[in-house]
Amino acid sequence: MQPLNKRVLITDHGFADVEQEKQILQSAGFELDIAQCKTGDEIAQAAQGASALLVQWAPITREVLEALPDCKLIVRYGIGVDNVDLEAARACGVAVCNVPDYGIDEVADHAVSLALALGRQVFALDKRLRAGVWKPAPVTPMPAYADMTFATAGFGRIGREVLQRARAFKFQLAALDPFVPDEAFVEAGVRRLSLDELFAGADILSLHLPLNAQTRHLVNAARLAQMKPHAILINTARGALIDTPALAQALKTNTIAYAGLDVFEDEPLPPDHPLRDCDNALLTPHFAWYSPKSGPLLQRFAAEEIVRGLRGEALHSQVNR
């Protein structure tokens, strides 16, 4: 990238403060403005003249990009970039970056925590006991961990950390990832699966994929019907990887046994959402990324990427080359 002008806009954020970004950007000689935009029109108005945007959830559509001819760099607070139109950004000459190297341990820990709790039916047994039933037997069929296949859809950084943790509990390990060479699976001692094998063979299936046109609703009614009746589905990646009404129906009819979900198509989860009525779903509020250090690390890495871009230096994590 060529060096650009000095103005940067935070379009929206949910942090306690953005003092770290201010310090990093101002120390590098750049100006920082802060907004809390929710719509494309609000972004287009607030970002006039800005060379770079720091974005959390705000929608960066083709219309927004075309209204901001000065903008040449967008950095998203986080790993996923599904709120940014990458093709439009490329057409407009805008580099889009994410922050892929924060919260990896936290997300892996959360995914495995959900899987372990559901695999031993901790919450279902707790609920039954509190209802007055003392019955030292599983609520649904419950294989031992060593007899279960723990599979990930995605064998990137987080997927590998998840399986490394699962290894300690003696699960059989497997994964799907068409972009990873066979040698990486062999080296990690992880069995490579096709898409059909993934859904039919997993006792625990944890999703670690980006959201795009190919992966949206990857988990749908047909795929859920392929899964084992005692199977557990975990999602700490992107909510729209799952057809949510289909999952709610599969849980209510015991097509699969349990789901542990930290992300949803609609966030916050609406009060009347069908998943709220599924006793066999363990739900957390997009919390997997959290630790006391992960948020500040995300903010620092995002601001430092902005500085690199505005100085004309090589970007670390551009996703739309």
d(CA 63, CA 42): 12
Is 73 in a helix, a strand, or coil?
A: strand
Residues with catalytic function:
238, 267, 286
pTM: 0.93
Other C-beta atoms closer than 10 Å to the C-beta of 116 total 19
Half-sphere exposure of 222 (CA within 13 A, CB side): 4
d(CA 5, CA 71): 10
Report whether 232 contacts 250 (CB < 8 A). no
d(CA 120, CA 140): 10
Among 23, 78, 74, 29, CA closest to 47: 74
In the chain (321 residues long), the average pLDDT of successive 10-residue segments reads 74 97 97 97 97 97 98 96 96 97 97 98 97 97 98 98 98 98 98 98 98 96 98 98 98 98 96 97 97 97 97 96 88
Give the angle 102-22-3 at the CA atoms, nearest 5°: 85
Amino acid at 274: P
* Phi then psi dihedrals of residue 92, to 5 deg: -90, 0
Q: What is the pLDDT of residue 160?
A: 98
Q: What is the pLDDT of residue 2?
A: 47
Which structural domains are found in the chain, ordered by start? 7-102+292-310 (3.40.50.720), 104-283 (3.40.50.720)
Report whether 301 contacts 101 (CB < 8 A). yes
